[in-house]
Structure 1
């Protein structure tokens, strides 16, 4: 089968033939119909993450936002069968550790990062093997396309998990979103659907226009005094603020723009400039009793909740898809992320 392979960090990705995977006894093999193209793929390609021992090895198949159809089933799988259309989360739990048993499989003690480590070869490929399938996979409702499901990927589910499960968000709250790439725009749409008033921050006019299209109540130019502008617009500061980019400036702005008792949500991963470390105004955070929260993917056991929200019509991940490409174009689209100019979510369609 054909797959996108990381041969050397920072050098052009290769599309080449690789062996077809077999299912583990408790796993399945999925025929990939679509897979989102994410900035986390760019981080992996660049070799970022050595500061947390999270660099994919050379030879890794990338791709972690797939949807498709099960074509092979391991002998110990109980709830799935060939022909089932499924969503595949990137944070794969084993279903047995204390975190998984308590509904936190996205931070499983023995978890596998799909597309980021040898045990989880990725989904920019004709087929992908998924371990612990009964725990990790969710069947798709009728009418939800593979492309829309791929858009749910790590960005949409991270934004949903952060706003619905991590933050104490209530209708009418002000939510500031710093960085309107894939995860930022996902947060804009989801926050609005949850009843929040949203302020979108970016330096790109096209990204801010897309945010308004998705429901943002106001926008702020990221090249100005962001925190001041948000405090003035919200009459005191945001209730929840999200750093959806992962650079020091957006993280600091996100914390600074909060009202007292506000909550900062970190969704963006840092680059080689920050190496996982961002200085923050600790005394000010203490004085305002500000919370700093992280959001990584979503527990597989809560995927039904997200799919039900989509099926209800409250949110539509397809609205974020701005480009679809074939497998051969994935390397160039990941490389293009050097420029930080893509708007919305791009998806690789393997079975259009």
Structure 2
């Protein structure tokens, strides 16, 4: 069973800051981006090196953290945890657009250095920006949801909010959810499916939501109007500051960010399916329908996103309160997301490492199922009520 602890020191202001401070590790990426732009050369690789390699090494040194805060902790005690997500949009926007102004004018940077640097910028806007947007979009506060929209606009992936909230959480582990990767399916194939199906799926979900309220898809309440305006504004700002080179660099970092997001989605649910109960009915979502990871440093960097099993059970639970589940309750990843997403880019190695884990998961939770072929082909009926 998971362990719940609430040290007395956390009740003091100093204790609250100390508990939240490790989750501010993302700020270390900003000076690395500035150094890469100013110095060029090998320093343009510092962002991906830190995001994937350094954090993975630190995970190995720091080990796992399975401690849980009391899920009923008052929100006032989480001020310093929430603060990093609230300030991240201005931090990210200033970093991104300052670089879009500076880099096209930087005569000391060769074309390859600019491309490599903005690949790293995609680490900031994808691994951090979209992760924070994910946390913010699940909250009830209008400010937080707007900040999520602003962050997603900087990577031209605004529809993700609609797709994630209206489709993914409702239909995860079923054929209706494009981002629930099937056993044996390589990431390139899964990625193309998500890019093809995701925007249309999000539009359809919003259109149906409006129809239930007696409104047309073109009603001003459709968030796709807001998505379009924010994304056009983000592109216009890139052009105003960096010209056409700025636009190209902006598009490149957005592509990298989207790729990282969908790599994470691929890892989070690979091979995990909800049991089909017949006639388009599926079992309720439970912790064992998402991969869990308790690696300490990468959970600091990704604000506990790797405690994904608990997130799908309680989507509105703020990240400091997400609970760790042990292997009896939720399947465990052997490494944190940075290492696992790198492994996913080599499908044979990924399948060799993960397919046996999926098979063990099936034997543990669904010993009554003898034939998984319909699940693996995605040929089961759509969930009841889905379109």
Q: Normalization by structure 2: what TM-score? A: 0.26
Q: Look at both structures and tell me which one has the larger radius of gyration over its CA atoms.
A: 2
Greater strand share, 1 or 2? 1
Higher relative contact order (CA 8 A, sep 6+): 2
Greater helix share, 1 or 2? 2
